[in-house]
């Protein structure tokens, strides 16, 4: 284990983390972690899901209390016993999972807890103006008066970033801030990071995207199973070494050999239209194939998936499942057709965070555990099966989801839908905020299921993911299908040409 030693003339640490231990219900998740963080640096934090990254940083933000160890801030020992005390020190965090109130608008969320007042009344005009300044700095045209419930996942991420910047920040912690952003939005965020760094702000950056870490960070902390593995200058470590240290072994090929499916059609979508959102969507899914959906944020991929699943009302659409025309007006109708859908917003739309693993897995499929009463024994046995199948790391099957890492929450979410025994599986950003090894596990599971005859649609903003998994890729732009790629045409350049509007197969008369 190495420890970063600053040069003789280096500034004193802004924060010292000394032998921090954290336990949940007697289970130790952090083991005497010691790190010095220096002013004006970008410190990357890497590790598999469950390695302890978010736990450590939640201790710094006052969300969790440490079990033992000490914290020093600007040379003084401090007790951070709540978010308010962290904020008073100048420590803010952009969380991986959004902490926004859907019934409030953008400026109200950004100033929540930091409200401005004048003559005893809320100064809404001032808050709106400051919100416009913050959003302009992020180069987004969001309306400060827009309700959070009307925003896309990427727009909500921008609100969270603005929310963290509204007060004076000395240390800004970013937990997977780029997972739902387009390449253009990532560049804007990185430029903002450089500006904050130039002003002396210290940034702690959690990401599973190794290229981003290499590009942005000065030093890199790697955690594994709650232990500090190394602290390196980013210039001294390659991406392959980062991955190896994270998993504790050599990481073989992340993507399994592709499957191409049969000629049999299991799902046909014809003339799917939603006014202002989707225009004449036509495609089919083959038995045993992985079909990718690409496109920039706002292209309509999620809206199409929600319409197919009965979560969003369409003006016009014909759906065939296994050759038969079906009416899907709600999720129950989709379930009868053996269809399943993992939303990109797992906490907002997929899981109940204060329920345990057992209750979350059986949430949709509860009927099969009911005879006269719910069979808790069968529920628990099935939950244990999925815990072992997906290697879900938790103290027990009775652990609440709020205490699990993002990757383990995603595994529970996948288990929940697999328990419905689907034949068609739609995955929307299935590896958002997930480490490289958990990605590999999910990719191999998807591949194995398609080899057994399941048909899968993968919606992803990560081009590498679509290129590595899919045998066909449909590209959407502005609510329409503009391209379909196969074979060697499935590459970054071709996908981006269609997504950005440089190519459009409709112009050549190939609509549908």
Residue 473 pLDDT greater than 50, yes or no:
yes
Q: For 443-470, write each residue's pLDDT tens digit.
A: 999 999 999 999 999 999 888 899 999 9
Q: For 136-164, write each residue's pLDDT tens digit.
A: 888 888 899 999 998 887 788 889 888 88
**Is 305:292 a contact under the CB 8 Å cutoff?**
no
**Is 130:124 a contact under the CB 8 Å cutoff?**
no
Residue 252 pLDDT greater than 70, yes or no:
no
Distance CA 164, CA 87 (A): 10
Q: Where would I find the beta strands (DSSP E) of 252-403?
A: 265-274, 278-286, 290-294, 316-321, 324-326, 339-342
Task: pLDDT band for 239, please (50, 70, 90 cuts).
Answer: confident
Residues 363 and 215 in one domain: no
Q: Per the domain annotation, does 60 fall within a domain?
A: yes
Other beta carbons within 10 angstroms of residue 465's beta carbon come to: 20
Q: For 367-414, write each residue's pLDDT tens digit.
A: 888 766 666 788 899 999 999 988 898 889 999 998 888 788 989 999
Residues 361 and 461 in one domain: no
* Mean pLDDT value across residues 6-16: 72
Residues 174 and 237 in one domain: yes
Residues ≥6 apart with Cβ < 8 Å to 256: 443, 444, 447
Share of the chain residues as helix, strand and coil, in percent rounded to the nearest 5: 35, 25, 40
Q: Could you tell me the CATH number of the domain that includes residue 29? A: 3.40.50.300
pLDDT, residue 250, reads 58
User: Which residue among 358, 390, 421 closes a domain?
Assistant: 421
Residues 166 and 314 in one domain: no
* Mean pLDDT value across residues 282-300: 92
Q: Per the domain annotation, does 10 fall within a domain?
A: no
Distance CA 331, CA 312 (A): 10
Distance CA 47, CA 60 (A): 18
Residues 54 and 120 in one domain: yes
Phi, psi of 297 (to 5 degrees): -55, 130
Residue 242 pLDDT greater than 90, yes or no:
no
Other beta carbons within 10 angstroms of residue 16's beta carbon come to: 17
Which long-range contacts (C-beta less than 8 Å, at least 24 apart) are formed by 26-29? 27/395, 28/67, 28/226, 29/55, 29/226
Higher-confidence position of 2 and 302: 302
Helix (H, G, I), strand (E, B) or coil at 64: coil
Task: pLDDT band for 508, please (50, 70, 90 cuts).
Answer: low
Angle in degrees, CA 435, 438, 440, rounded to 5: 110
Q: Is 26 exposed, middle or buried (0-12, 13-18, 19+ CB in 10 A)?
A: exposed
Residues 411 and 463 in one domain: no
Residues 408 and 283 in one domain: no
Pairing of strands 480-486, 472-477: antiparallel
Q: Please give the DSSP secondary-structure letter assigned to residue 344.
A: S
pLDDT, residue 4, reads 38
Other beta carbons within 10 angstroms of residue 448's beta carbon come to: 12
Residues 417 and 428 in one domain: no
Q: Per the domain annotation, does 4 fall within a domain?
A: no
Q: Per the domain annotation, does 327 fall within a domain?
A: yes
Residue 512 pLDDT greater than 50, yes or no:
no
Q: Per the domain annotation, does 3 fall within a domain?
A: no
The full 3-state SS of 288-311, as one line of letters, equals CEEEEEECCCCCCHHHHHHHHCCC
* Mean pLDDT value across residues 107-111: 93
Domain that holds residue 23: 15-247
pLDDT, residue 403, reads 84
Distance CA 355, CA 363 (A): 10
Q: Per the domain annotation, does 196 fall within a domain?
A: yes
Q: For 320-378, write each residue's pLDDT tens digit.
A: 999 999 999 999 999 999 999 999 877 777 888 889 999 999 988 888 887 666 667 88
How many helices and strands (H and E) does the chain possess?
16, 22
Distance CA 293, CA 201 (A): 38
pLDDT, residue 481, reads 97
Q: Per the domain annotation, does 7 fall within a domain?
A: no
Residues 294 and 388 in one domain: no
Other beta carbons within 10 angstroms of residue 342's beta carbon come to: 22
Other beta carbons within 10 angstroms of residue 168's beta carbon come to: 9
Higher-confidence position of 89 and 245: 89
* Whole-number Cα distances in Å, 67 to 24, 121, 426: 9, 41, 41
Distance CA 471, CA 485 (A): 9
Q: For 157-188, write each residue's pLDDT tens digit.
A: 889 888 888 888 899 998 888 877 777 778 88
pLDDT, residue 510, reads 44
Please count the structural domains in the chain: 3
Q: Which residue has the tokens 């999925």?
A: 386
Residues ≥6 apart with Cβ < 8 Å to 216: 42, 44, 190, 193, 205
Share of the chain above pLDDT 70, in %: 94
* Mean pLDDT value across residues 80-101: 88
Residues 37 and 161 in one domain: yes
The full 3-state SS of 402-436, as one line of letters, equals HHCCHHHHHHHHHHHHHCCCCCEEEEECCCCCCCH
Task: pLDDT band for 6, please (50, 70, 90 cuts).
Answer: very low
Distance CA 292, CA 489 (A): 13
Residues 292 and 410 in one domain: no
The token pair that represents 361 in the structure block:
């897995």
pLDDT, residue 231, reads 96
Task: pLDDT band for 24, please (50, 70, 90 cuts).
Answer: confident
pLDDT, residue 10, reads 58
Residue 251 pLDDT greater than 60, yes or no:
no
Residues 369 and 496 in one domain: no
Q: Per the domain annotation, does 123 fall within a domain?
A: yes
The token pair that represents 106 in the structure block:
């953008």
User: Which residue among 358, 391, 421 closes a domain?
Assistant: 421
Residues ≥6 apart with Cβ < 8 Å to 290: 258, 259, 261, 446, 447, 450, 456, 457, 458, 469, 470, 471
């Amino acid at each position: 284990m190495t420890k970063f030693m600053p040069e003789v003339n280096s500034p004193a640490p802004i924060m010292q983390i000394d032998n921090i231990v954290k336990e949940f219900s007697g289970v130790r998740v952090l083991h005497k972690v010691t790190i010095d963080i220096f002013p004006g640096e970008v410190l990357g934090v890497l590790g598999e899901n469950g390695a302890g990254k978010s736990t450590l940083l939640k201790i710094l933000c006052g969300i969790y209390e440490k079990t033992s160890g000490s914290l020093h801030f600007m040379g003084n020992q401090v007790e951070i016993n709540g978010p308010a005390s962290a904020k008073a020190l100048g420590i803010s965090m952009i969380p991986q999972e959004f902490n926004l109130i859907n019934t409030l608008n953008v400026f109200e969320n950004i100033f929540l807890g930091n409200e401005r007042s004048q003559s005893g009344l809320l100064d809404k005009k001032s808050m709106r103006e400051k919100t416009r300044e913050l959003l302009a700095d992020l180069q987004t045209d969001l309306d400060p008066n827009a309700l959070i419930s009307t925003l896309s996942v990427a727009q909500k991420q921008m609100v969270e970033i603005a929310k963290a910047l509204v007060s004076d920040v000395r240390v800004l912690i970013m937990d997977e801030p780029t997972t739902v952003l387009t390449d253009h939005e990532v560049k804007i965020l990185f430029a903002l990071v450089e500006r904050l760094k130039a002003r002396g702000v210290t940034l702690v950056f959690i990401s599973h995207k190794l290229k981003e870490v290499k590009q942005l960070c000065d030093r890199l902390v790697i955690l594994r199973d709650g232990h500090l593995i190394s602290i390196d200058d980013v210039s001294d470590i390659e991406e392959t070494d980062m991955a190896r240290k994270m998993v504790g072994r050599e990481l073989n090929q992340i993507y399994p050999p592709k499957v191409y499916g049969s000629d049999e059609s299991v799902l046909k979508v014809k003339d799917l239209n939603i006014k202002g959102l989707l225009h004449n969507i036509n495609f089919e899914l083959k038995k045993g194939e992985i079909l990718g959906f690409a496109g920039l944020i706002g292209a309509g991929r999620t809206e199409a998936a929600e319409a197919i699943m009965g979560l969003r009302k369409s003006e016009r659409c014909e759906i065939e499942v296994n050759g038969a025309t079906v009416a899907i007006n709600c999720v129950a109708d989709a379930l009868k057709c053996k269809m399943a859908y993992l939303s990109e917003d797992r906490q907002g739309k997929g899981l109940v965070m204060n329920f345990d693993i057992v209750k979350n897995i059986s949430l949709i499929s509860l009927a099969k555990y009911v005879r006269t009463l719910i069979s808790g024994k069968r529920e628990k046995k099935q939950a244990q099966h999925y815990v072992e199948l997906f290697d879900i790391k938790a103290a027990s099957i009775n652990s609440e989801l709020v205490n699990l890492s993002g990757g383990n929450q995603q595994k529970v979410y996948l288990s929940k839908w697999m328990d419905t025994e689907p034949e068609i599986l739609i995955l929307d950003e299935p590896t958002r905020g997930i480490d490289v090894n958990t990605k590999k596990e999910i990719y191999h599971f998807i591949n194995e299921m398609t080899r057994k005859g399941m048909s899968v649609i993968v919606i992803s903003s990560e081009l590498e993911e679509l290129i590595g998994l899919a045998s066909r890729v449909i590209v959407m732009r502005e609510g329409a299908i503009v391209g379909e790629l196969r074979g060697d045409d499935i590459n970054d350049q071709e996908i981006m040409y269609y997504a950005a509007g440089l190519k459009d197969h409709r112009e050549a008369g190939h609509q549908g």
